[in-house]
Structure 1
Amino acid sequence: MELRNILIIVALALYALAMAGIVSTDAYSQAAGAEARGVHALMAEMRSGGSGTAMLADAPPEVSRGVAR
C-alpha cells in the first residue's frame, strides 16, 4: 500500500472515533433532543393550521424583506 492510502485510512478511523465520542456525550444527546422537540412542535403547529397569532407571512412587507426603518 502506498503511504497516502495508509494515511487516508488512519484519518478516516480517527474521524470515526471522534464522531463516536461526540455522539455518545450527554451534551450531544441534549441538543439532539431539543432539536427533535422543536421540530415536533413546529410540525404540530403547521398541522393545526396556526393558532390565530401573527406569523411572518402576515408581517408587513418591510419586515418580510428585512428592511429596517
Structure 2
Amino acid sequence: MELRNILVIVAIALYALAMAGIVSTDAYSQAASAEARGLHALMAEVRSGAGTGAMLADAPQAVAR
C-alpha cells in the first residue's frame, strides 16, 4: 500500500472517532432534540395552513405566481 492510502485510512478513522465523540455528548443531544422540536412545530404550522394567506398576499405578484 502506498503511504498516501495509509494516511487517508488513518485520517478517516480519526474523523469517525471524533464524530462519535461529538455525537455522544450531552450538548449535541440537547441541540438535536431542540432542532427536532422546532421542526415538529414548523411542520404542524405548515399542515394547519395558518399564515399562508398573509405570506402570499404580501409577496409581489411576480413572486406569488
Aligned-residue Cα RMSD (Å) equals 2.1
Aligned to 1:38: 38
Identical aligned pairs, as a percentage? 78
- After superposition, where does 1:1-69 map in structure 2 within 5 Å? 1-50=1-50, 56-59=55-58
Q: Quick check: which one's helix share is greater?
A: 2
Q: Give the unaligned 5+ runs of structure 2.
A: 61-65
Q: 1:60 to 1:26 in 2, by over 3 A?
A: same
Count of aligned positions = 61
**Structure 1: how far apart are the matches of 2:43 and 2:29?**
21
TM-score by length of 2: 0.78
1:10-58 residue CA offsets vs partner (Å, 9 max, x unmatched) = 00000000000000000000000000000000000011111x6x95545
